[in-house]
Every structure is written in C-alpha cells, then in structure tokens.
Amino acid sequence: MSSSPPRAITDLHSHLVPGVDDGAASVAESLEALRQLRSEGVVRLVTTPHILLPRLDTDAAVERELERQRSAFDTLRVAAAGRDDVPAFALGQEIWAPDVAQAARIARHPALGLGGTDYLLIEFGFDLQGDHTDVVTLVLDSGRRVIVAHPERYAYLPEHDPIETMQRWRELGALLQVNVGSFGGHYLSGRPRSAELAWQMVELGIADLLSTDHHGPRRSGVSPVEAYDALVARGRAADARRLMELNPGAIARGDVLTPLSHPVAPVGEMPQHAAAGHRRPEGP
C-alpha cells in the first residue's frame, strides 16, 4: 500500500474508448479500467485512441475513423453517466505521424486534440527513421502544441543520442510524456533502455508529464500509484506531483506549459517552469 498523500492525478494517454483500437475491447472493460484508475487517484483523464495516419489513406478515411471513435466514446460516456467511481473523462487521440507529410494532413484539424485543447499527442513510430524534429516544427508552426508520446520507448538511430534528441524536441517547444510503466521496467523486454531513459528524463528535468498508456485488461504496467510511489521513494515527491498532477492538469485545462532547457530543480522544490497555468503572454 502507498504511504503517499491523496493524489489528484490527470492521465492524458490511454486507450479506453471501447472497441476502436488495441485497447479496451468493450464498455465493461473500459469501465473497469476507469474504476481502477480512479481508485489509484486519477480524477481526470483524456483517453487517446490511436489515429494511425499511415494506415488511413485518404482524408475521408481519417474522418470515418474519427467518427467511429466519437461514437464509441459517446457510448462509454452514457454508460458512465452518474457513476462516482470513475474519473471525469474526455476524448483525445494518439496520432501516429512518422513524417511531415503525414503530420501535415492533420495538424490543423479542429476535431483533433486532447479534450478539445490545442495539444496533439504525437507518436513517431517505435523505430525512429530520423530525429523527427521536422514533424515537431510543422505541428508547432500550425499553431498546435505537441506532446511527444513515450520517447523513452523509441529505438533511436545509431547517430542520434536519445537524450539529446529529446532535448531538441523540447527546445523546439514540445513536451515529453513518459509512460508510468517505464519506471518499473515494464517495457524492458522490447526496449532495454526504457527504464534507464525514463529515470534520466526525470533526473534531467526533461520529462513533462507521466501517463498510463492504459490498454485495458490485457496489458499490465499501467499503475499510476506504482510510478508515483517509485518517484517518491527516490526523493522525487515534487516531481511526482508536477508530472502526474500539476502539468497534466494544466494541459487538460488548455493552459500553456513551456518546456525550458535547464529546469533541473533541487529535491523537494517545485521547478519554476512547472507551475500549472503558466501562460504565454500572447499568440494563439
């Protein structure tokens, strides 16, 4: 059992829209996952079914997929109405955009974003083909904000150092999302460096938020409590709160979070850049 204080976690990456991707397969599975997350302190969640752009040949195919996801999400919303044992939840997407041509198809799409915000959760594909800075730049130049999904799980090209590449994404303005399962080594069999990179990202101050990437009952390694407590156990309680409560909470509200280059904070202190609700003075 956890000895940490009560939490108000916001989870911005999960696959809990029933029956639309490789996540929860039914309303019952979705509700059970939501109930489990609420019991672990998740009060707010944006669920993010896959939008696999390379497999959606045309704009019409993208629209059909979005409509399919919206419809299944509405079914879940109706099923959860009135329940007080699940988090408040909204709809987003995890968008597979491996190159600029794919990213350009959707960057300005008004129906895309985490819970109606400007933030797009982007994945580049697990085996990177470049440094993908061009994708980050294109999406940002389109007036959207970028969250890179689980960079600790990618296989980087030999000429690209993972941490340096992540720092480049961040310096361009992207935020970096780490999966909670990475801290306990959940992805080590496929990605041997994922745990080491996840911890390094926290220690270097280049992790911006942690999320479950919950795929329903057939996958483990999705406990927010385990990750939260693992950080606390390493003297990183302030990071745990920032990465699981404050930052994702601010993003879900549509506030602007700005990644800074050198935000390493002493243990126990809240890094200045991480204050929820930090707003850019002007612009879109």
208 belongs to the binding site for Fe ion (CB under 5 A): no
Least Cβ distance, residue 51 to Fe ion (angstroms)? 11
Q: Which of residues 209-238 bind Fe ion (CB under 5 A)?
A: 213
Lookup result for tokens 């069999």 = 189
Please say which residue, 182 or 232, places its beta carbon nearer to Fe ion: 182
Please say which residue, 16 or 80, places its beta carbon nearer to Fe ion: 16
Q: Which of residues 159-178 bind Fe ion (CB under 5 A)?
A: none
The CA-atom distances, in angstroms, between 23 and each of 53, 140, 206, 214, 275 are 18, 28, 28, 7, 32
Distance CA 102, CA 59 (A): 11
Letter string b/e over residues 20-58, b meaning 16 or more CB atoms within 10 A of that residue's CB: bbebbbebebbbbbbebbbebbbbbbbbbbbbbbeebee
Whether 96 and 54 have beta carbons less than 8 Å apart is answered as yes
Q: Which of residues 92-111 bind Fe ion (CB under 5 A)?
A: 94
Least Cβ distance, residue 176 to Fe ion (angstroms)? 14
Please say which residue, 94 or 208, places its beta carbon nearer to Fe ion: 94
Distance CA 275, CA 273 (A): 6
Least Cβ distance, residue 23 to Fe ion (angstroms)? 8
Task: Single out the segment in contact with Fe ion by CB under 5 A; choices: 37-45, 205-213, 231-239, 272-280.
Answer: 205-213
Please say which residue, 29 or 213, places its beta carbon nearer to Fe ion: 213
Sign of CA pseudo-dihedral 23, 56, 120, 174: positive
Picking from 274, 262, 271, 236, the residue whose alpha carbon sits closest to that of residue 167 is 262
Least Cβ distance, residue 1 to Fe ion (angstroms)? 28
Least Cβ distance, residue 41 to Fe ion (angstroms)? 21
Please say which residue, 215 or 236, places its beta carbon nearer to Fe ion: 215
What are the tokens at 261? 């280059």
Please say which residue, 208 or 213, places its beta carbon nearer to Fe ion: 213
Task: Single out the segment in contact with Fe ion by CB under 5 A; choices: 87-95, 159-167, 177-185, 191-199.
Answer: 87-95
Residues facing residue 121 across a β-bridge: 94, 147
What are the tokens at 262? 């050198």
Give residues in contact with Fe ion (CB under 5 A).
Answer: 94, 213
